[in-house]
Chains A and B, each alone.
Chain A
């Protein structure tokens, strides 16, 4: 375990403060639960913020139907054990049109199955605020995000129209048609997330730990074969390799890394020593310069 953990208590307190401010100011919040390590920390902090009461909002998972099987199993177990309300939403129009990560470019697939799906779910639930696990250290446009990120009608993010946030004061008074994305982990880094998971002994999806898994190497990225829907190129044969994931999304679009880190302490050590940023393994972020900014403007969180 690394020495620098004392700042985690400061980050924890800041996040709890944000959760409470949002719960007090918004009529119908929801927590976007995407099952990964950030969502795990987000959910844990939500439980701490309202303890001994349960978090006063449901969880929402946008299921593209291409999540790793281990993720879905972990999601259902977590919700059952903690006795939480979970809403699962899939874009059925997209499903009917067979929008999938093999036949469509990542930008189209992500827009239909994630961004549009999220908008549908938020509109259907009448939610005025959605907690997300985004961190400012992830990517350039996220480095400029507010804690309360305002979205105009249609969930559009206007970077130039964001509200100034001064001191600890969070102004959640909504204008007409506005909704808010709330980011309690804004000031956390990937290293902080892992150290906190270790410190609090939080269970995470096993895919984060190294194990022998069937993978194919494509364009320098390791893609895991999670089920029979995998389309192999001519001559491609899945190989068993000891790999793990730094970030979890839809399996054909999330690359694994070679690793021997099979427990939490090893993952913390590997993360802090890593020479690549976490999103290097997210194929959707590399389409064009400013790819994430474009997605956010369209309503991606």
Chain B
């Protein structure tokens, strides 16, 4: 038996083992600078992996005749650009969702816009993805938008990245050209928290290394794009992550049924476990995990269930049920990194609400401390932020709410900021620091006021705008140091 025949014989078993191990659904984001060929790449993936029906093929072939692009017969991007304005302008404005499946896996493709003014849409799409395909045009290499998109992928918690170096046909399938871009990107990506970067040379227009292996790049021995997607494991969480269930609503039925409905955000819970409401600190034992399909013995991350406890904790929507040992912080002051989504810039005087997993908490005050520069990827002091900016900020809440740090538990450590006036979603963010009681006015809180700082650590600063920025920065740093030593601090400048 030769090797190919052997592989053929054992393949079904391998496939089943793989499907069980890696999860049945993969959500993938495509991003990169405009004109790097994202829509074409996904169109090609759908076309070659048979995710396109015959009437769609016919419609695309017909529409392609109206738009001569690269002299090619089929314009694959027409598969994705759904809105009229986009068809007319030939660009992708909004996120488009597409679906296809292979025998092993169901795919959700999130195609995001490349233009800088639509960065917020890209951030929105990225927040739903397990893995990001970052496209780079082989002719131009890493661009400002590439850095921006990598920064956003990192911000929203994507851990796995595929670097697709596209349009290899236009650099004569050059290995040297490809390796230089790969090296550039790997150097850049060191500032981020990606767990895995796989790079693949492709040509979306001709299909090389997308679904079918290219014969024109013999120097490349790695997987094709689809091969890699078929084998990548979407899960990144440790098996022993702490249990969290944000309560969506309280269900009552018959005379005595009272259950807390929600989706497990992290970890696993078993009937008989002691659990605690993080906000009140009250504990109870889990009596039942109820579903319409019958009671269950345990529930894990992603399961939508209803928990019945042995005692009534008198909690409602917004509570987070947790294990006893590792609890969320019941915080009323947080620091966060966020992407500003609204056309209306941040206004410290405007009213905002913080929407966390299931809670909605009034914001008492909010200040921006820094903006992330996309060229250097460094945070520099600032007080303002507007649409498409990534900013570090500090938020005081009107009452405590149960939270985690995003890097530990993403689904209880993320939030969106909501305008109290019109309900609009103005920003999305991740919690980088949270503390209980720091905002309460009491004897234990150290108030850092202007006078206190001006006589010492800021004695060299004057009244110029630049000095004011520096004053703010030092105040934040002093507060940070004191808080890390366990001293509650309130900044009042």
Residues of A within 8 A of B (CB): 3-4, 6-7, 10-14, 16-17, 20-21, 23-24, 47-53, 136-137, 139-144, 159-160, 162-169, 171, 173-176, 178, 186-187, 189, 191-192, 274-277, 280, 289-290, 293
Cβ of A140 and Cβ of B357 under 8 Å apart? no
Q: Contacts A17-B304, A169-B414; is A163 near B94 (CB within 8 Å)?
A: no
Cβ of B261 and Cβ of A20 under 8 Å apart? yes
B238 near A: Cβ within 8 Å? no
Cβ of A168 and Cβ of B53 under 8 Å apart? no
Complex formed: what's the CA distance from A162 to B252 in Å? 34
Complex formed: what's the CA distance from A275 to B121 in Å? 32
B286 near A: Cβ within 8 Å? no
**Selected A-B contacts with CB under 8 Å, 13 pairs:** A7-B25, A20-B249, A51-B251, A51-B306, A52-B251, A136-B99, A140-B81, A141-B83, A159-B85, A164-B124, A167-B411, A168-B357, A175-B423
Q: Which residue of A lies closest to B263 (CB)?
A: A17
**Min CB distance, A12 to chain B, in Å?**
8
Interface residues on B, range: 35 or more
DSSP class of A's interface residues: helix, strand, loop or mixed?
Answer: loop
DSSP class of B's interface residues: helix, strand, loop or mixed?
Answer: mixed
B416 near A: Cβ within 8 Å? yes
**Min CB distance, B225 to chain A, in Å?**
20
**Min CB distance, A102 to chain B, in Å?**
26
B358 near A: Cβ within 8 Å? yes
Residue B248 contacts which of A4, A17, A163, A186 (CB distance < 8 angstroms)? Answer: A17
**Min CB distance, B350 to chain A, in Å?**
14
Residue B156 contacts which of A52, A167, A191, A192 (CB distance < 8 angstroms)? Answer: A167
Complex formed: what's the CA distance from A144 to B124 in Å? 12
Q: Which residue of B lies closest to A51 (CB)?
A: B292
Q: Which residue of B lies closest to A53 (CB)?
A: B253
Q: Contacts A10-B24, A13-B303; is A20 near B248 (CB within 8 Å)?
A: yes
Question: CB-CB < 8 A to B248: which residues of A?
Answer: 17, 20-21, 24
Residue A144 contacts which of B83, B103, B106, B293 (CB distance < 8 angstroms)? Answer: B83
Residues of B within 8 A of A (CB): 19, 24-25, 53-56, 80-85, 87, 93-99, 101, 103-106, 108, 120-121, 123-124, 127-128, 156, 248-249, 251-254, 257, 261-263, 290-293, 302-304, 306, 317, 341, 353, 355-358, 360, 410-411, 414-416, 418, 422-425, 428
Cβ of A48 and Cβ of B414 under 8 Å apart? no
Residue A24 contacts which of B104, B317, B411 (CB distance < 8 angstroms)? Answer: B317
Question: CB-CB < 8 A to A144: which residues of B?
Answer: 82-83, 94-97
Complex formed: what's the CA distance from A52 to B253 in Å? 6
Q: Which residue of A lies closest to B102 (CB)?
A: A4
Complex formed: what's the CA distance from A53 to B96 in Å? 36
Complex formed: what's the CA distance from A137 to B108 in Å? 10
Complex formed: what's the CA distance from A140 to B425 in Å? 25
Complex formed: what's the CA distance from A111 to B164 in Å? 45
Cβ of A171 and Cβ of B425 under 8 Å apart? yes
Q: Which residue of B lies closest to A188 (CB)?
A: B99
Cβ of A163 and Cβ of B424 under 8 Å apart? yes
Cβ of B25 and Cβ of A171 under 8 Å apart? no
Question: CB-CB < 8 A to A11: which residues of B?
Answer: 25
Complex formed: what's the CA distance from A48 to B85 in Å? 39
Top 9 closest A-B pairs, CB basis? A140-B82, A173-B423, A7-B24, A16-B304, A166-B428, A51-B292, A6-B24, A164-B124, A175-B422
Cβ of A51 and Cβ of B290 under 8 Å apart? yes
Complex formed: what's the CA distance from A171 to B25 in Å? 25
